[in-house]
């Protein structure tokens, strides 16, 4: 309704404006033509006076140019116009403003031709020598009966005419603006009384359309318009209640989708993506802003995913698959595509794609299987040995004292090995489940390493291995001393076990920076092949299985070391070359 009132007002204003504008343009045109005609007539009269009073001469062109140029300049002082004398052949022989010798031939000029034809030549054009519009008037002058008439031409600028027209234009614009304002006020006053009630209803309806459900019509009269306003208010009340409930449900749904650990993608029957939650963005590597509203093939995911989605859209049945994704990182995903039914019998709304990252689950299952297999294998070996030798003894070998002693020693050694294995498994289980409380205290490293060496001296002497240490004086680290000793004992024992007789195992400790200390355990042993380095911290992983068993190792020592270092918020790495020794590097924070 407001737009109707506005259109009505503008139509009235436009009619007035068009009338005034048309009259103004006509007035300006008439005024300009009359002014130019009067100016031309005045210039004709002046040139006829000049023709009558001028002493006309002929002869040498140079002399004529000097004479008529002086005449033109003198006449300009009286006429306030440019005066030009043109010979019958078009040569300019005098000009009040410019050098006649440099001017072009004027025989073909429009005003000159008109002067010879009709007696008076008139034209308005931009001057070739002056950057402004000029009015040119020319008349012929018969200086004698034997020659063709000469031409006198006067030129005046139209600036004065343009200024007068500009003033008239400003007056017309002022009147037009006044009429605009007057017509607008009158029109608005008339339209306002007719359309105000409907205008208010229209505004409220638009606010409701824009989801402003608190908008209400102010009903003042109980007429037809008042009843319409009351009905709109009742509709707004109902909509407000319904939209509040819808927003609550939508907020709950958004919260559920945003916090789901599985990715959710909704695809309609035409293959367009309608919805993606945050987890789906992380899994697919695309934001919802990039994909929502576009076809699923534009996701540029691997071909298998597009094929599975298309199959589900075609067959309209539940599909469950596991595929490996390589973007944005490698992971194993379980896909569940569930058909969506819309209201109405047989209506198909698309599919719901549920993405679950099962990489960690499958990795844990594999690790569990490998762990069970390794534990079973490691337990079976000593148990089999104990059982075999016990059966031999029971079979009669016990009568041979030397054989009995040998078999019993083997049974004892295998029992010890089994005990160590069970102990390491239990220890590793406690460490991995974070059930090992660490008691941190300052540890002076020089004394700590010296005490650790004393515990291993006898083992090192048996193989003639030299134990060396190189530690900066006064170095302390905050650590659990017992667990730190367990780390050092494991690494030093490995160094002694895998170093040939006469070798050397050394420990170097220095402050790598202000916040960390670096401990290097280096041996001159057999080393570790480079291909095995990435796996040596895995449980039960052995580079040389036969040699590890002969040394009494369980295959869990380095795994325990790695977990204990990480419990100290540190890191451990290894550098080794087969046949050239091994170096373990531990970095621990000085203060926990």
The answer on 551 and 469 residing in a single domain is yes
The answer on 156 and 119 residing in a single domain is yes
Of the candidates 306, 320, 321, the residue with the CA atom closest to the CA atom of residue 267: 306
Least confident residue range of 122-131, 202-211, 455-464: 122-131
How confident is the model over 328-356, as a mean pLDDT?
81
Within-domain flag for 198: no
Query: pLDDT band at 552, cuts 50/70/90?
Result: very low
Question: How confident is the model at residue 519, as a pLDDT?
Answer: 92
The residue out of 334, 357, 380 marking a domain boundary is 357
Within-domain flag for 134: yes
The answer on 328 and 248 residing in a single domain is no
How confident is the model over 258-272, as a mean pLDDT?
87
The answer on 379 and 330 residing in a single domain is no
Are the CB atoms for 348 and 316 separated by under 8 Å?
yes
The answer on 488 and 420 residing in a single domain is no
The answer on 310 and 394 residing in a single domain is no
Question: How confident is the model at residue 41, as a pLDDT?
Answer: 83
Cis ω before 273 (30° cut-off from 0): no
Q: 214-262: per-residue pLDDT in tens?
A: 788 777 767 766 777 788 788 888 888 888 888 888 888 888 888 888 8
H or E segment and range at residue 234: helix 224-258
CA angle 281, 283, 284 (to 5 degrees): 65
Counting the structural domains of the chain, the total is 5
Q: Which residues contact 208 (CB under 8 A, 6 or more apart)?
A: 215, 232, 235, 236, 239
CATH number, domain of 509, equals 3.30.565.10
The answer on 280 and 253 residing in a single domain is no
The answer on 227 and 88 residing in a single domain is no
Within-domain flag for 33: yes
Sign of the Cα torsion 106, 108, 114, 117 reads positive
The residue out of 325, 357, 389 marking a domain boundary is 357
CATH number, domain of 121, equals 3.30.450.20
The answer on 469 and 583 residing in a single domain is yes
Domain around 407: 371-432
Are the CB atoms for 539 and 556 separated by under 8 Å?
yes
Query: pLDDT band at 571, cuts 50/70/90?
Result: very high
Q: 49-81: per-residue pLDDT in tens?
A: 888 888 888 778 888 888 888 888 888 888 888
Q: Is the pLDDT of residue 396 over 50?
A: yes
The answer on 231 and 96 residing in a single domain is no
Distance from C-alpha of 538 to C-alpha of 365, rounded to nearest angstrom: 15
Q: 154-181: per-residue pLDDT in tens?
A: 888 877 667 767 776 777 777 767 776 7
Which tokens sit at 466?
């030299």
Mean pLDDT, rounded, of the chain: 79
The answer on 34 and 6 residing in a single domain is yes
Q: Is the pLDDT of residue 505 over 90?
A: yes
The residue out of 357, 390, 421 marking a domain boundary is 357
The model scores a pTM over 0.75 = no
Burial class of 234 by CB neighbour count within 10 A (0 to 12, 13 to 18, 19+): exposed
């Amino acid at each position: 309704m407001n737009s109707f009132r506005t259109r009505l007002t503008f139509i009235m204003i436009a009619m007035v404006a068009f009338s005034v504008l048309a009259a103004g343009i006509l007035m300006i045109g008439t005024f300009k033509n009359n002014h130019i005609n009067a100016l031309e007539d005045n210039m004709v009269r002046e040139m006829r006076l000049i023709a009558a009073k001028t002493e006309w001469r002929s002869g040498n062109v140079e002399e004529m140019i000097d004479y008529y140029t002086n005449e033109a300049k003198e006449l300009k002082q009286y006429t306030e116009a440019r005066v030009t004398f043109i010979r019958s052949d078009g040569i300019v022989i005098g000009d009040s403003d410019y050098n006649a010798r440099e001017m072009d031939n004027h025989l073909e000029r429009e005003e000159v031709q008109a002067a010879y034809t009709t007696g008076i030549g008139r034209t308005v054009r931009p001057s070739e020598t002056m950057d402004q519009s000029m009015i040119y008037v020319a008349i012929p002058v018969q200086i004698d009966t034997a020659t063709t008439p000469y031409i006198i031409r006067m030129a005046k600028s139209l600036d004065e005419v343009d200024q007068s027209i500009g003033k008239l234009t400003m007056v017309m614009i002022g009147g037009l603006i006044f009429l605009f304002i007057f017509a607008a006020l009158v029109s608005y006053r008339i339209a306002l009384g007719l359309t105000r009630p409907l205008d208010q209803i229209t505004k409220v309806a638009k606010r409701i359309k824009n989801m402003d459900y608190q908008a209400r019509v102010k009903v003042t009269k109980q007429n037809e318009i008042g009843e319409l306003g009351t009905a709109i208010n009742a509709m707004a009340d109902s909509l407000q209640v319904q939209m509040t409930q819808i927003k609550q449900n939508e907020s709950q749904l958004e919260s559920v989708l945003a916090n789901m650990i599985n990715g959710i993608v909704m695809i309609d029957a035409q293959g367009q993506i309608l919805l993606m939650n945050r987890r789906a963005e992380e899994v697919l590597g695309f934001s919802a802003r990039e994909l929502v509203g576009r076809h699923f093939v534009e996701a540029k995911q691997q071909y298998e995913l597009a094929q599975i989605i298309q199959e589900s859209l075609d067959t309209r049945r539940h599909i469950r698959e596991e595929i490996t994704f390589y973007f944005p990182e490698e992971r194993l995903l379980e896909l569940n595509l569930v058909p969506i039914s819309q209201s109405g019998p047989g209506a198909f709304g698309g599919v719901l794609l549920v993405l679950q990252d099962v990489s960690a689950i499958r990795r844990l299952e594999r690790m569990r299987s490998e762990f069970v297999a390794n534990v079973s294998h490691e337990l079976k070996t000593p148990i089999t040995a104990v059982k075999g030798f016990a059966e031999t003894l029971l079979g009669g070998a016990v009568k041979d004292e030397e054989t009995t002693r040998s078999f019993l020693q083997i049974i004892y050694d295998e029992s010890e090995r089994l005990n160590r294995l069970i102990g390491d498994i239990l220890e590793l289980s406690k460490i991995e489940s974070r059930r090992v409380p660490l008691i941190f205290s300052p540890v002076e490293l020089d004394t700590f390493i010296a005490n650790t060496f004393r515990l291993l001296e006898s083992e090192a002497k048996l193989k003639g291995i030299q134990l060396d240490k190189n530690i900066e004086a006064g170095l302390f680290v905050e650590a659990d001393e017992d667990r730190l000793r367990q780390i050092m004992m494991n690494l030093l024992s490995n160094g002694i076990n895998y170093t040939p007789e006469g070798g050397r195992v050394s420990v170097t400790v220095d402050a790598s920076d202000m916040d960390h200390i670096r401990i290097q355990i280096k041996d001159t042993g057999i080393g570790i092949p480079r291909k095995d380095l990435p796996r040596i911290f895995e449980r039960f992983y052995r580079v040389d299985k036969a040699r590890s068993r002969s040394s009494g190792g369980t295959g869990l020592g380095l795994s325990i070391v790695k977990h204990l270092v990480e419990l100290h918020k540190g890191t451990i790495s290894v550098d080794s070359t087969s046949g050239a020794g091994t170096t373990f590097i531990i970095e621990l924070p000085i203060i926990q």
